[in-house]
Amino acid sequence: MHLAHFLQRRQRQWKVSVWLVVLLLIGCSFLSLSVGEIWVQPWLPQGELEKQLLWQIRLPRLVAAMAIGAALAASGAVLQVLLGNPLAEPGVLGISGGASLALVLMLFLLPWVPGPWLTMSVAMAGALVFTLLLVSLARVRRVSTTRLLLIGVALGILSGAVVTWAFYFSDDLSQRQLLYWLMGSVGGVSWGQLSVLVILLPALIWLCTRGKLLDILMLGEIHARQLGLDVSALRWRLILVIALLVGAAVALAGVIGFIGLVVPHLLRLSLGTENRYLLPLSAGFGALLLALADVLARVVLPAAELPVGVVTTTLGAPVFIWMLLRSQVES
């Protein structure tokens, strides 16, 4: 009886959380479309200027922030299961760094401005290389959680070193483009760039529906195979989709860290580890967090705008330190 009551209460908590994130996303959407140097009523824009500001600048920015936040948070939640590492996250493990490194090299080598599809393909390739490297080390070499984290940090440092070299040899225009990718921003996203959502959104939905399979995988590979799960095929599919999502996110907005770390970890602490609920909720709260961070980036300074990647790093770094200290105490 106690177990059944506990399970019913836990399911109610998940359902309440779903409705909560939906309502918060609606409220955040109105807030994001309203605030700025010019305040706009989203439901009643006054004049052509406000209409253009709303539909051509703020709405694409909001859509990009929510899509990127959802993609990074869901990817982080899946990586934490795949690697058996509660600190796994695309930014911390260097996967976002791999995508940005590939993009920086492309911007440095190509004489023309690439389109959104080429940009996403290159970023996906860079993210895939780093993801495959990390998963291979985790599964084949049996690298510990601490060492895997250090390897990811080292990969991020390596990508940063190559980017620094690219800065040194680039001209002024290339430097401005490189700086955009490094700092992370959704300020310049247009509807043309959002065409990558045609691939990103189906991939995100597919990833969020793998929760039951991840719950089985968490029982252990032996038990999962006994239950009929093709562990190897599932892992490779998840790796490819994560690389696509991270690559598309970096292609749209550059490197934005800690979304995939903070959101799923806090949800696990507060609600539990059921991935069939955790994955879609991580996507929802990731979208909410990045949209709110973008609002903060626009209003914190009166005469300037902060890159949203700086805001997420400022918010996420203290939580990351707390998680490291907490994991050390538990071990």
Domains and CATH numbers, the chain: 68-330 (1.10.3470.10)
End-to-end CA distance of the chain: 33
**Residue linked to tokens 């032996």:** 222
The burial of 134, by beta-carbon neighbours within 10 Å (0-12 exposed, 13-18 middle, 19 or more buried), is given as buried
Position 66 scores a pLDDT of 96
| C-alpha torsion angle, residues 23, 26, 28, 30 (rounded to 10) | -140
Contact present, 254 and 185 (Cβ < 8 Å): yes
97 is written with which tokens? 């760094």
Position 156 scores a pLDDT of 81
Q: How far apart are CA 184 and CA 178, in angstroms?
A: 10
Position 143 scores a pLDDT of 65
Position 172 scores a pLDDT of 64
Position 75 scores a pLDDT of 93
Closest CA to 167 of 256, 104, 106: 104
Position 178 scores a pLDDT of 64
Position 330 scores a pLDDT of 58
DSSP 160-220: HHHHHHHHHH--HHHHHHHHHHHH---TT--TTGGGGHHHHHHHHHHHHT-HHHHHHHTT-
Instruction: Provide the CA 279 distance to its chain's centre, in angstroms.
Output: 12
List all residues 6 or more positions away from 77 whose beta carbon is below 8 Å from its beta carbon: 260, 263, 264, 267, 275, 278, 279, 282
Position 174 scores a pLDDT of 58
Neighbours of 57 (CB within 10 A): 16
Q: What is the pLDDT along the chain (331 residues), one digit of tens a residue?
A: 566 666 677 788 888 899 999 999 999 999 999 987 788 888 877 888 888 889 999 999 999 999 999 999 999 999 888 887 777 788 777 788 888 888 878 877 776 667 778 887 888 888 888 888 877 777 776 666 667 777 777 888 888 788 778 777 766 655 666 676 677 888 878 888 888 899 899 999 999 999 999 999 888 888 888 888 888 888 888 888 988 898 888 888 888 888 988 899 889 888 888 899 999 999 999 999 999 999 998 888 877 788 888 889 888 888 778 777 776 555 5
